[in-house]
Amino acid sequence: MICLKLCIDLKTMSTYFSRVIKAGGKQREFNFRQLFHEEGIKYSVDVPDDKGSRITFQMINDKEGRWKTIAQPSVPWIEEAEMDLSNAIRDNG
45 belongs to a structural domain: yes
Decide: 29 and 19 in contact? Cβ < 8 Å.
Answer: yes
- β pairing state of 54-61 and 67-70: antiparallel
Query: pLDDT per residue over 15-61, tens digit each?
Result: 899 999 999 999 999 999 999 878 789 999 999 999 999 999 999 99
Residue 59 lies in domain: 14-92
Decide: 75 and 93 in contact? Cβ < 8 Å.
Answer: no
40 belongs to a structural domain: yes
Higher pLDDT, 83 or 4: 83
pLDDT, residue 12, reads 52
Report the domain count for the chain: 1
pTM: 0.80
33 belongs to a structural domain: yes
1 belongs to a structural domain: no
pLDDT, residue 2, reads 44
83 belongs to a structural domain: yes
- From 55, 47, 86, select the one nearest 71 (Cα to Cα): 55
Binning the chain into helix, strand and coil, the percentages to the nearest 5 are 30, 45, 25
